C-alpha cells in the first residue's frame, strides 16, 4: 500500500493552484510530475558535479562521467538488462525509435515487411513510414478488434517480416499488448522485436530479458524523470552490428558526432555532449519509483482506473474507449454534445488537467470514428478524491453546455 499523503508531499507541484482550485493533474500519460528527489538530484549535479564527460582529465570531469555511467547502470538494473552497455541514452522514446529505424532499418530491402499496430503513437509510426519510403519495405498492421485489443490470430508476421514494433501499452485505449508472445512470433519469423514502452515502464515492472525484446524505448519524463532524457535498450550483438544513428552518409555525421565516442557500444550512438543532468535525474526517478514499489504503484493505479471507469460509466452521454478488462492507467472518453477541447477547457476552470485531442494517434482516431477524445491518465500521486473531482467536473461541463445549447 502506498502512503498517499507522503507520496503527494514528495511532489512540490501538487501544491499549485489552478484557476483558484487545487491542481488535479490527470495528464500523466503526457508527462508526469517530478518528486523532490529528482529535482534535488538534478540541482545537486549542477551544483557540485557538472563538467563534460568522458574526456576531461580533472576531478569534476571524472565525477560527472561517473554520475553519467552510474545512471546508465541504474537504468540497466531497472529493466533487468544484462549490462549497462545495453543502455543508450537518447532524448526520448521518439528518438530511440528513430535510432532503431535508421540504424537497424538500413538493412531493409524492397518487399521486406515492418509489422505495427493501428494504435501506435506517431513516434512509433512515422519513423517506420520514413523507413518504408527509403527502403521500399512495406508496413503491415495487426488488426485491432472493436474492444481495443489486437487480433493476434491475424497478425501478419511471416517470412518477409523483418521488424515487429509495437506499443506495450496504448496511450489512447490503455490496451496492454502481449509483448512476450509477439516477441516470440517475431523471432520465429526471423524478425527483430521493438517495444515502445513509453506508457508501460512508469506503471509496471518491465523485464527486457523476460520479454526477450531486441530493442525497447522509453522516455524519462513520463516516469517521473526530467524532460530531454530517454532510453534505448538494445541487445548487445544488434547494437554492435548497427551503424551509428547519425551515420549513413548524411553530412550531419561530421557536424555532430564525436569520433572518440564511436568505438564502442553504447557510446557509438551518443553523439555530442549528452544530457548528464537528465540521466542523473532519471536514475533518481527510478530510485524513487522502486522505493515506492512498482507493485504497490500498479495496484494503486488499477484502483484509480477502475474508479474512473465507474465514475464515467455513471454519467449519461459518456462513451469510454478501450478494453473492458485489464488496461493501463488511463481512460479515454467522449461526452455527447461537448467537444473534447471544450470539455478540457471547462475542466481546467475546475483545476482538473486532462488531455484533449488525437493524442498523436490520428489513424486510431479515424478507426474509432472520432476527431478527438478526452483522456484522464493516472500516476502514483493521484487520489480517489481526484477521480471524483474529474466526475464532478465532467458533470459541470455537461451542465454548462446543455444550458447554453438549449
Q: Which residues of the shown chain bind other proteins in the complex (CB under 8 A)?
A: 19, 339-342, 345-346, 349, 356-358, 362, 365, 371-372, 400-401, 404-405
Residue nearer to other proteins on the CB measure, 215 or 401: 401
| Phi, psi of 306, deg, nearest 5 | -60, -40
Output the smallest distance, CB 31 to other proteins, in A: 16
Residue nearer to other proteins on the CB measure, 108 or 393: 393
Output the smallest distance, CB 358 to other proteins, in A: 4
Look at strands 87-90 and 230-234 and give their pairing: antiparallel
Helices and strands, number each (H, E), in the chain? 14, 15
Residue nearer to other proteins on the CB measure, 36 or 402: 402
Output the smallest distance, CB 397 to other proteins, in A: 9
> Longest Cα pair distance anywhere in the chain, in angstroms?
73
Q: Please list, residue by residue across 267-281, b when 16 or more beta carbons sit within 10 angstroms of its beta carbon and e when fewer do.
A: bbbbbeebbbbbbbb
Residue nearer to other proteins on the CB measure, 72 or 355: 355
Report the C-alpha gap between 4 and 339 in whole angstroms: 33
Report the C-alpha gap between 265 and 239 in whole angstroms: 7
| Phi, psi of 12, deg, nearest 5 | -55, -35
Output the smallest distance, CB 98 to other proteins, in A: 20
Residue nearer to other proteins on the CB measure, 117 or 334: 334
Output the smallest distance, CB 132 to other proteins, in A: 22
The SS3 of residue 103 is helix
Long-range contacts of 342-346 (CB under 8 A, 24+ apart): 342/397, 342/401, 343/374, 343/394, 343/397, 344/374, 346/393, 346/396, 346/397, 346/400, 346/401
Cell numbers linked to 90? 537518447
Task: Identify whether the C-beta of residue 233 lies closer than 8 Å to the C-beta of residue 86.
Answer: yes
Task: Identify whether the C-beta of residue 213 lies closer than 8 Å to the C-beta of residue 190.
Answer: no
| Phi, psi of 212, deg, nearest 5 | 60, 45
Whether residue 380 lies in the annotated active site: no
Task: Identify whether the C-beta of residue 375 lies closer than 8 Å to the C-beta of residue 172.
Answer: yes
Catalytic residue among 213, 360, 361, 380: 360
Non-local (6+) Cβ contacts of 316 within 8 A are none
Task: Identify whether the C-beta of residue 214 lies closer than 8 Å to the C-beta of residue 180.
Answer: no
Residue nearer to other proteins on the CB measure, 243 or 342: 342
Output the smallest distance, CB 336 to other proteins, in A: 14
Residue nearer to other proteins on the CB measure, 27 or 112: 27
Non-local (6+) Cβ contacts of 87 within 8 A are 72, 75, 76, 79, 81, 231, 232, 233, 266
Output the smallest distance, CB 346 to other proteins, in A: 6
The DSSP code for 32 is -
The DSSP code for 330 is E
Residue nearer to other proteins on the CB measure, 66 or 402: 402
**Could you count the other beta carbons within 10 Å of the beta carbon of residue 203?**
29
Output the smallest distance, CB 187 to other proteins, in A: 36
CB-side exposure of 222: number of CA atoms within 13 Å? 25
Question: Catalytic residues, which ones?
Answer: 360
Amino acid at each position: 500500500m502506498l502512503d498517499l499523503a507522503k507520496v503527494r508531499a514528495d511532489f512540490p507541484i501538487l501544491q499549485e493552484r489552478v484557476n483558484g482550485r487545487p491542481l488535479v493533474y490527470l495528464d500523466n500519460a503526457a508527462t508526469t510530475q517530478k518528486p523532490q528527489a529528482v529535482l534535488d538530484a538534478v540541482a545537486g549535479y549542477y551544483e557540485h558535479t557538472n563538467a563534460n564527460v568522458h574526456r576531461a582529465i580533472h576531478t569534476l570531469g571524472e565525477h560527472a562521467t561517473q554520475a553519467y555511467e552510474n545512471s546508465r547502470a541504474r537504468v540497466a538494473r531497472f529493466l533487468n538488462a544484462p549490462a549497462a552497455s545495453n543502455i543508450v541514452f537518447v532524448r526520448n522514446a521518439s528518438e530511440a525509435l528513430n535510432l532503431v529505424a535508421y540504424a537497424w532499418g538500413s538493412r531493409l530491402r524492397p518487399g521486406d515487411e515492418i509489422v505495427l499496430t493501428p494504435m501506435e503513437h506517431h513516434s512509433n509510426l512515422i519513423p517506420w513510414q520514413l523507413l518504408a519510403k527509403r527502403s521500399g519495405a512495406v508496413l503491415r498492421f495487426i488488426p485491432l478488434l472493436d474492444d481495443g485489443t489486437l487480433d493476434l490470430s491475424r497478425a501478419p508476421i511471416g517470412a518477409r517480416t523483418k521488424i515487429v514494433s509495437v506499443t506495450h501499452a496504448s496511450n489512447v485505449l490503455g490496451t496492454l499488448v502481449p509483448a512476450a508472445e509477439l516477441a516470440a512470433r517475431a523471432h520465429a519469423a526471423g524478425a527483430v522485436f521493438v517495444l515502445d514502452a513509453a506508457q508501460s515502464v512508469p506503471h509496471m515492472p518491465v523485464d527486457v530479458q523476460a520479454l526477450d525484446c531486441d530493442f525497447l524505448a522509453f522516455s524519462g519524463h513520463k516516469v517521473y524523470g526530467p524532460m530531454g532524457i530517454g532510453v534505448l535498450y538494445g541487445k548487445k550483438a544488434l547494437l554492435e552490428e548497427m551503424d551509428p544513428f547519425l551515420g549513413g552518409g548524411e553530412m550531419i555525421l561530421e557536424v555532430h558526432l564525436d569520433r572518440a565516442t564511436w568505438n564502442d557500444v553504447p557510446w557509438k550512438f551518443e553523439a555530442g555532449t549528452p544530457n548528464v543532468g537528465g540521466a542523473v535525474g532519471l536514475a533518481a526517478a527510478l530510485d524513487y519509483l522502486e522505493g515506492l514499489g512498482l507493485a504497490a504503484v500498479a495496484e494503486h493505479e488499477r484502483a484509480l482506473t477502475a474508479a474512473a471507469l465507474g465514475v464515467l460509466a455513471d454519467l449519461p452521454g459518456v462513451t469510454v474507449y478501450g478494453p473492458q478488462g485489464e488496461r493501463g492507467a488511463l481512460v479515454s472518453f467522449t461526452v455527447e454534445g461537448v467537444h473534447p477541447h471544450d470539455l478540457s477547457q471547462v475542466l481546467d476552470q475546475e483545476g482538473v488537467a486532462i488531455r484533449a485531442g488525437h493524442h498523436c494517434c490520428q489513424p486510431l482516431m479515424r478507426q474509432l470514428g472520432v476527431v478527438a477524445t478526452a483522456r484522464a491518465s493516472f500516476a502514483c500521486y493521484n487520489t480517489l478524491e481526484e477521480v471524483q473531482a474529474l466526475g464532478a467536473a465532467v458533470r459541470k461541463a455537461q451542465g454548462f453546455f446543455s444550458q447554453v445549447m438549449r
